[in-house]
Structure 1
Amino acid sequence: MRNILFDLDGTLTDSSEGIVRCLQYALEKLSLECPTPAELHAHIGPPVRNALGLIMKTDDDDLIEEALRLYRVRFSETGIYENRVYEGIPETLSALSASSRRLFVATSKPLVFTERILNHFQLTDYFDAIFGSELSGKLDNKVELIRHVLSSTALAPDETLMIGDRMYDIIGARENGCLSIGVTYGFGSEEELRGAGANLICKSPLEIAEHFSAE
């Protein structure tokens, strides 16, 4: 497989601390009941805008947008760095880069935040290009995002593979004719990933490297 797309949250970095704390901040500022950290953790993966609607049990767009604004107030200054790179990711990216494969990031997180995170952790140089959503929500659907990546880079779907930790990554790959690897060290379960149709399951970043070294 020549081209590899990586999700960010739950695949390259463990962003759970920052995301949960920013969700708590937004809900507290709105004087709304806040679920437990474990309950909030279960909402990591889909776009934050969607997660907030589910957490607050509302389809009130104005309320969701205000909660998102508050979330981003804290995230842009503090939450963005309450984050860590998964053990083995730098080594895996280095090995894949050395094998002449092309690496890309494809995340529903806004591109402006994604670039800051990758720069902060010195991961940017491993990737040919970085793709994320816009602050407006455009391209935060993984099917649309991967379609955009393929069209922007002229990558062949049958030579492109998506690696991610949630069903959205797997479905996005499948709907665009790409293979996928589901990783269980992130925020999704093996059951979720297999149910979505992942072609392979890896339990650690080093398993990803081992898979490609055996090709």
Structure 2
Amino acid sequence: MTGPAPLVLLDLDGTLTDSYPGIAASARVAFGTLGLPVPDAAALRRFVGPPLVESFALFGVAPERVPDAVAAYRGYFRETGMWENTVYPGIPDQLAVLRDAGVRLAVATSKPEVFAGPICEQFGLAPFVEGVFGAPLDHVPSTKATVVGAALDALRPAGQVLMVGDREHDAHGARAHGVDCLGVAWGYAQPGELTAAGVVGVVAEVADLAAGVLAALSAAAAPGAAPTTGR
């Protein structure tokens, strides 16, 4: 790989780790604490990816009750839920291939950074990335675009930039900074969600992640293409 090293921003939940069990358990605690009906398991998958405040609003929690829902969720998540999580098999090997190919890696997640950092440390992801960028805690407004912007400001990439994620929020947040997004199929997107969000492609299997990223970077750098460099 010639020229400045490309930077790949990696979503966490649904892209690197299967965090659904802990997120769903935390959400059940929150709905139960508020005395609200608990959504079924399929519906709770929609909690994975978007900012938490947005997710509770999506499920019809009244605005004045959202702070209590978040507090109940965080109480369980901080102690137990964040560790009910596993790295998708094969992810470390794929990250190693990308690093060996000269790609810079960082995590960019809507999960609060105070949780994302320890999760990456605990599950062995931290050695592969230059930084872990996440949202502030819930009283500070934040979107995926906010997180992507913080990563770009800190890492100051000189080469291409690509976002990799499993939800439409990843694509929209990246596009706000002129960055393409490559989708992954093993996460929590609804059918057709990633294509509708304008991803440059969808990687079907974890084993194909590194090849998919390198192909997307190569395509963006081809003659006539407009490489995305972030801003």
Do both proteins adopt the same fold according to a TM-score greater than 0.5, normalized to the shorter chain? Answer: yes
Q: 1:50 aligns with which of 47, 54, 77?
A: 54
Provide closer, same or farther for how the CA distance between residues 137 and 130 of structure 1 changes in structure 2, counting only shifts above 3 A: farther
- Relative distance call for 1:70 and 1:212 in structure 2 (3 A) is closer
2:47 aligned counterpart, secondary structure? coil
SS in 2 for 1:42: helix
Letter in 2 for 1:132: G
Q: Distance in 2 between matches of 1:110 and 1:192?
A: 24
Structure 1 residue 27 and structure 2 residue 31: aligned?
yes
Cα deviation for residue 145 of structure 1 reads 1.6
1:144: Cα distance to partner?
Answer: 1.9
- Structure 1 segments (4+ residues) deviating >3 Å: 136-140, 212-215
The alignment status of 1:121 with 2:138, answered yes or no, reads no
1:8 to partner: Cα distance: 0.4
Work out the CA distance in 2 between the residues paired with 1:161 and 1:212: 8
Query: 2:197 corresponds to which residue?
Result: 196
**Structure 2 matches for 1:1-215, cutoff 5 A?**
2-60=6-64, 63-138=65-140, 140-156=142-158, 159-189=160-190, 191-212=192-213, 215=218
* 1:111-133, Cα deviation, whole Å (9 max, x unpaired): 11001111111110100111001
> What whole-Å deviation, never above 9, does each CA across 1:50-71 have from its counterpart, x for those lacking one?
11122244222xx111110110
After superposition, the C-alpha distances for 1:52-94 in whole angstroms (9 at most, x for unaligned) are 122244222xx11111011011001110111111111011011
Q: C-alpha distance in 1, partners of 2:191/2:211? A: 19
The SS at the match of 2:142 is coil
> Partner of 2:13: helix, strand, or coil?
coil
What are the Cα deviations for residues 24-65 of structure 1, in whole angstroms up to 9, with x where unaligned? 0111112111111211122322111211122244222xx111
Letter paired with 1:153: L
How far residue 160 of structure 1 moved from its aligned partner, in angstroms, is: 0.3
User: 1:139, CA displacement in angstroms?
Assistant: 6.4
Q: Which amino acid aligns with 2:36?
A: L
The normalised TM-score by structure 1 is: 0.92
Distance change in 2, residues 1:68/1:180 (3 Å): same
Q: Is the 8 A contact 1:14 1:83 kept in 2?
A: yes
SS in structure 2 of the partner of residue 64 of structure 1? helix
Give the Cα–Cα distance (whole angstroms) in 1 for the partners of residues 54 and 194 of structure 2.
20
In the alignment, residue 209 of structure 1 is paired with which amino acid?
A: A
RMSD value, Cα: 1.7
**Alignment length (residue pairs):** 212
Q: 1:211: how far off?
A: 2.5
Name the amino acid aligned to 2:192. Answer: E
User: C-alpha displacement at 1:190, in angstroms?
Assistant: 5.1
Q: Unaligned stretches of 5+ in structure 1?
A: none
Equivalent pairs: percent with the same residue?
A: 36
CA–CA distance in structure 1, aligned partners of residues 94 and 141 of structure 2: 27
- In structure 2, the gaps of 5 or more residues are 219-231
